[in-house]
Amino acid sequence: MILLAVLAGCCVLTAGCGAEEEPEPETEEEDMTSDSDEMIVGEDISIEDITEFYFTRENINYDAYYQRYKFYVEDGKHMFFHETRERKDDYGPCTEEDTTLIGTIELTDDQWNEFADLVSKGTVKEREDSGDSGDDGPWLYLYWTNDEGKYQQFKFRSYKTEAQFEEFCLSLVPEQASDPDEGSAGSADAAADDEIYQQFINDELKLDGETFSEIFSFVKEDFDTEPVTFYYDVDEDGKDELLVSTVFYGYNIYDVRNGELELRDCGDGTAAECGVYKGNGHVYVSHSDFSHAGRKMLSLVRYDVDGVILETIDINAEYWDAEDDMYDENSDFTYNGKKITMQEYEDYMNSYEFIDPDSDNARPAP
């Protein structure tokens, strides 16, 4: 299936620049290109002269990761290389031993042209010893025939293009790395998945020896209500997963993998209620705590179809001393551990939409 482990540093930044992106209209392009020390790809530098392009994103802090994409020309062929390293729950830097996914593919002309479109109108300037800015990049370098070994530091024409570039790279990885028959069998697969979910709901299929009614009997006993079931495509592969709302602990999310029903994720007590959010161009499974005093914690993970975590985002507010149990400008706000302002916190929170049975593309499960 898709997106075998491509990591997600991407989104850390995609989200990060999401906030910056909007206020920067077209004028930004003009600003960048007016600098005489910069050369414009596709104008000053011919696409045919590109020999290599490196995209690297790295986090050496907690939950360390490393993501590299490389486009290059070899023996007249257009090639794409990708490498993902992950050190979950640990500090970096990641090394070769942490590699979770790596591969090289030959690109079609269409794919290479898409790459060319994405880098065109980007700029190249003399390399600086950038030093460590402490963020996760990306660091971008374009090598071309007359770069003199120094005019290689690349910048996309806009943040939006940079985000599109990462999306494009992600799309290149899965198709080659896994499940080649995904596309053609898509809708038949989806119907087969639905049938399995339906059997489960009807108590005709057990999971780990328990029927649906047995698993969710506590909802009726504890909360005197029925679990609500609905379908939503949580891992963005075009096939829906089954979501069962258990009230206080949020959703149990079920997936079908290789024809077998699996529990993808679920709540972990009221301090880690499970939900689904849409935002930042993706769908995320959340664990949140909005119900206890002194904090609002939201942790988002993005899964691929195999249940591999591609990205995590933590957005937290803490205000332990607040007498009215409300945050204010002086509370502690963080995004992936980095301090942010209250305004930034609210902007992030507002950019994610909680998914429930009434959301767009949610489908009732009878």
Q: What token pair was written down for 79?
A: 């090639």
CB-nearer residue toward Ca ion: 3 or 119: 3
- Euclidean distance between CA atoms 252 and 275, whole angstroms: 8
* Minimal distance, residue 300 CB to Ca ion, in Å: 17
CB 138 within 8 A of CB 162: yes
* Minimal distance, residue 241 CB to Ca ion, in Å: 5
Query: What one-character-per-residue DSSP string does 98-139 give?
Result: GEEEEEEEEPPHHHHHHHHHHHTT-EEEE-------SS---E
- Euclidean distance between CA atoms 185 and 29, whole angstroms: 42
Give the footprint of Ca ion on this chain (CB under 5 A): 233, 235, 237, 239, 255
Per-residue b/e over 122-143, b at no fewer than 16 CB within 10 Å? bbbbeeeeeeeeeebbbebbbb
- Closest by CA to 85, choosing from 181, 7, 196, 140, is 7
Max CA distance (Å), the chain: 73
* Minimal distance, residue 239 CB to Ca ion, in Å: 4
CB-nearer residue toward Ca ion: 190 or 322: 190
SS (H, E, C) 259-284: CEEEEEECCCCHHHEEEEEEECCEEE
Q: What angle do CA 138, 143, 144 make, to 5 degrees?
A: 145
CB 22 within 8 A of CB 160: no
- Euclidean distance between CA atoms 110 and 224, whole angstroms: 57
CB-nearer residue toward Ca ion: 163 or 261: 261
CB-nearer residue toward Ca ion: 18 or 279: 279
* Minimal distance, residue 6 CB to Ca ion, in Å: 16
- Cα 266 to Cα 218, 337, 347: the distances in Å are 15, 24, 27
* Minimal distance, residue 145 CB to Ca ion, in Å: 44
CB-nearer residue toward Ca ion: 3 or 142: 3
* Minimal distance, residue 242 CB to Ca ion, in Å: 9
* Minimal distance, residue 184 CB to Ca ion, in Å: 17
Bridge partners, residue 155, by sequence: 123
- Tokens 């899964």 correspond to what residue? 303
Q: What angle do CA 108, 111, 114 make, to 5 degrees?
A: 150
* Minimal distance, residue 15 CB to Ca ion, in Å: 22
* Minimal distance, residue 234 CB to Ca ion, in Å: 6
Q: What token pair was written down for 74?
A: 């070899």
CB-nearer residue toward Ca ion: 165 or 284: 284
CB-nearer residue toward Ca ion: 147 or 241: 241
* Minimal distance, residue 293 CB to Ca ion, in Å: 36
- Closest by CA to 262, choosing from 233, 302, 305, is 305
CB-nearer residue toward Ca ion: 283 or 317: 283
Query: What one-character-per-residue DSSP string does 147-172 give?
Result: -TTTEEEEE-S-HHHHHHHHHHHHHH
CB-nearer residue toward Ca ion: 162 or 255: 255
CB-nearer residue toward Ca ion: 156 or 254: 254
